[in-house]
Structure 1
Amino acid sequence: MIAKQPSSSESGSSGSASDQVGREGRLKPLVFASFALAGLSVVLSVVALLFAAGVLSPLRDGSDLDGRMHAYLLANPEVLIESMNGLQARRQAAENNDLTAVISQRHDEIFNDPGSPVGANPKGEAILVEFFDYNCPYCRQATPMLDKLEQEDKGLRLVFKEYPILGPGSVFAARAALASQKQGKYLAFHKGMMAYQGRITETSSLEVAANVGLDVEQLKQDMKDPAIDEIIKRNVALAQALHISGTPSFVVGKEIVQGLTDASSLKRLIASARGS
C-alpha cells in the first residue's frame, strides 16, 4: 500500500520542506504523550484489577505499593501484555464501529456519486469502490484483477474514486481522466494510464490520451470545468472521513480494505455485501 496524505502542493497551496519538518516536530511530543497516557491507563487498570482480585492486599500505613506492584509485574509480565492487548482491541473495535457509522451516513456519496466513473457493468447490484492514484504501482497491479472480477461477475459494479495523493502529475492525470468522460472514453483512458510504463506526468497523461483516441485539445478545454476539481475535493474529504490514507483502498458493503489484496478476499467481501 502506498500510504501518503495529500501534501500542501497537491491540494493547491504552497508549503516548504521546513514547514513539514516543523509540523512533524510538533506532532512527535503529542504522539509520545498519547502513548505515555495509554501506558499509564493500562498500569492503573492492572493495579485496580489486582486489588479487586485480592492479589494485592488492601494498603496499610507505610505499605510499599510501588515495590509490591513492581515485584508482581516482574513476576507476571503477561498481565501487562494482556491489558495492552485488550486496550488495543477495544480501540480497534471502537474505530471499526465509527467507520461503519460513516459508511452508513455517507452511503450514497461512497457508492452512488454521479461524479464517480463506473466500470464495465454500470447496472451491477454489488458495488466495489476503489480509491486509487495513477502513480501508485499497487493500483496498477490491482487493475487486471479488477478487470477479471468484472468479467466473471456481471453483477459487479466498480466505482472509481480518483484520489491523487502522489504529486502534481497524479492530480493532472485525475483531472484528465474525469474530463475524458465528456468524450465517452473514461475506461479506455483509465486502463491506458494503468498500463503505462513509467511516471505519470502531464506529458505522459496527454500521450496516453492521444493513444486511446481522445481529442487532446478538447480534453484540455474540458479539464477547466470547475466540477472536476469539486469531484476530486469530495473524494479527498471522503477518504479522510473513512481514514483512508493510501492507495489502493477498497470499500465494499460495510468493509474497508486498505492496500493491495487478492481476488479471493474481495470475492468473499462482495458475497458478504450481497447477503447483507
Structure 2
Amino acid sequence: MRHLLLTTMIAALPITATAQELSDERVKELALEAIMENPQIIMEAVALLDAQREAAQAAQAEQILSQQRDFLENDPNAPSVGPADASAVVVEFFDYNCPYCKRTAVDIKALMAADDDVRVVYREWPILGEGSVAAARAALAAREQGKYEEMHNALMELRGRAEEASIMAAARNIGLDIDKLTADMESEAVTAHIVTSRQIADGLGITGTPAFIVGNVVAPGAVPLDELQRLVGQVREDG
C-alpha cells in the first residue's frame, strides 16, 4: 500500500527521468520533497487510490451480480415472501439487532402491501454478535414449522437486543415447538444459508446492514420506501 501510494504521488510529479532510472531511495526522496513543498499532494494521492479501489470494487460487484443474480433471487435455501413469478424481486441482507433494519422492515411491509407483484428474498446476515447469530438461526429454523415469516416479524418487532431469552420468548408467543426449533437451529441448511450470505456480501462489497439488491443494483443502507419503489419500477422497465 505504501509503495503504491509513493508510486501514485511520483506519477503526478514533473520528473524528467523515467521510472526505470529512479532508485527506490530516490523515489522516496522525491516523494518527501513533494510533500514538504505541497502537503496537499498526499491527500490528492489518497483520493486517487480511493477512487481506483472503489472503481475496482464496483466492477467486481457488477460481474458477481451478473453471474449470481438468478441464484440470489431463486436460492431454494433463502426464505421469501410474495408470488414466485413476481415481476420484480428485492433481496435484503439484514441483522435482527440492526436498528436500521428494524426501521426498514416497516417500509418492506408497506412495499408489499402496495404492490402484489413483488417478491422479497430474505438473506439472514448476522454480523452484530452472538445474539444476532442465534436470532438468524431461530428464524431460519422456524421454516421447518412453517412459521418463518411470523418469526421474522416477531424478531424485527423486539424491543431491545435479540438475545437467547427474548428470541425464545418470541418463538413461544407464535406457537413454535421450542425443542424442535432448538434442534433445527443447528441444521446444515441453516448454517449453509448464513455462510452463503457472508460470501455473497463479501463478493459484492457489502459492508453493513441493511443492504438491498434490486435487479442489477446494489443499494446499501436504509433505503427509503420511495427509492425501493423506484428501483422496482426500474426492474420492470428493463424487462
Same fold by TM-score, threshold 0.5 exceeded? yes
TM-score (norm 2): 0.82
The reply to whether residue 105 of structure 1 matches residue 67 of structure 2 is: yes
Which of 5, 18, 39 is matched with 2:5 structurally? 39
**Which residue in the other structure is 2:176 paired with?**
214
In the alignment, the residues of structure 1 paired with residue 173 and residue 179 of structure 2 have an alpha-carbon distance, to the nearest angstrom, of 14
* Offset, 1:160: 0.3
Q: Note the C-alpha offset of 1:154.
A: 1.5
Equivalent in 145, 166, 172 of residue 183 of structure 1: 145
Which has the higher mean CA deviation after the structures are superposed, 117-126 or 182-191?
A: 117-126
> What is the alpha-carbon distance in structure 2 between the residues aligned to residue 93 and residue 245 of structure 1?
16
RMSD: 2.7
Aligned equivalents of 1:147, 1:189: Cα separation in 2: 15
Distance 2:156 2:117 in 1: 23
Which of 156, 164, 170 aligns to 2:126? It is: 164
The size of the alignment, in residue pairs, is 226
CA 1:175–1:41 in 2, change beyond 3 Å: closer, same or farther? Answer: same
Once the two structures are TM-superposed, the CA of residue 79 in structure 1 deviates from its matched residue by 7.6
**Within 2, Cα distance between the matches of 1:214 and 1:122?**
26
1:158-200 CA-partner distances (Å, limit 9, x unpaired): 1000111112221111111111112211111101110010111
Percent identity reads 36
Q: Unaligned stretches of 5+ in structure 1?
A: 1-33, 52-64
Distance between the aligned counterparts of 1:38 and 1:127, measured in 2?
41
| CA contact 1:46–1:80 (8 Å) conserved in 2 | no
What is the match of residue 259 of structure 1? 221
Residue 111 (structure 1) shift: 1.5
Kindly tell me: are residues 101 and 82 of structure 1, through their superposed partners in 2, closer, same or farther at Cα, counting changes over 3 Å? same
State how far apart, in whole Å, the 2-side matches of 1:220 and 1:248 are: 26
**Paired position in structure 1 for 2:26:** none
| 1:89 partnered with 2:51 | yes
TM-score using structure 1 length: 0.72
Q: From the CA coordinates, give the structure whose radius of gyration is larger.
A: 1
Which secondary structure does the structure 1 equivalent of 2:13 belong to?
Answer: helix
Report if the CA contact (8 A) 1:130-1:160 is conserved: yes
Structure 1 residue ranges (4+ consecutive) displaced by more than 3 angstroms after TM superposition: 36-39, 77-91, 120-123
Query: What CA distance in whole angstroms lies between the structure 1 residues aligned with 2:40 and 2:168?
Result: 59
| Residue in structure 1 matching 2:95, options 115, 130, 133 | 133
Task: Tell me, in whole angstroms, the C-alpha distance in 2 between the residues paired with 1:192 and 1:70.
Answer: 59
Cα displacement string for residues 247-273 of structure 1 (whole angstroms, at most 9, x for unaligned residues): 111111222122212122222222223
- Cα separation, 2, equivalents of 1:115 and 1:141: 25
Q: How much has 1:114 moved relative to structure 2?
A: 0.6
Q: Secondary structure at the match of 1:134?
A: coil
Which secondary structure state, in structure 2, belongs to the residue aligned with residue 154 of structure 1?
coil
